[in-house]
Amino acid sequence: MTNLPSSTRYSTVARFAQDDASWPHEAWSIVLEFESSLSSCSEYFEATARFLMPLAPTDRLIAGSTFELYEGAVRTAVATIL
């Protein structure tokens, strides 16, 4: 992430490969809960991921899944589910 979140909870728009046809008009918001404050010394961060909406396609958050995080039109990070 270019500008690290200032808290341990971060919510933004996620772009999944399955959404390419409808992006950016339809997208899901994701919430990341980090174990601790983020340090700019690291390139990788661990967090628990969940969708903001309860009816979101939770099957996309399975091990090996990759998605991008966006703020507006700018990609800020790539996430991989472990």
Q: Which string of DSSP letters, residue by residue, matches 2-59? A: -S--SSSEEEEEEE-GGGTTTTTTS-EEEEEEESS---TT-S---EEEEESSTTS-GG
Query: pLDDT (tens digit, 9 = 90+) per residue, 41-77?
Result: 677 788 999 999 999 999 999 999 999 999 989 998 8
Domain residue limits, the chain: 9-80
Amino acid 64 reads G
- Encoded tokens for 38: 């983020």
pLDDT band at residue 34 under the 50/70/90 scheme? confident
CA-to-CA distance for 60 and 28, rounded, in angstroms? 11
pLDDT band at residue 35 under the 50/70/90 scheme? confident
Query: pTM of the predicted model, to two decimals?
Result: 0.83
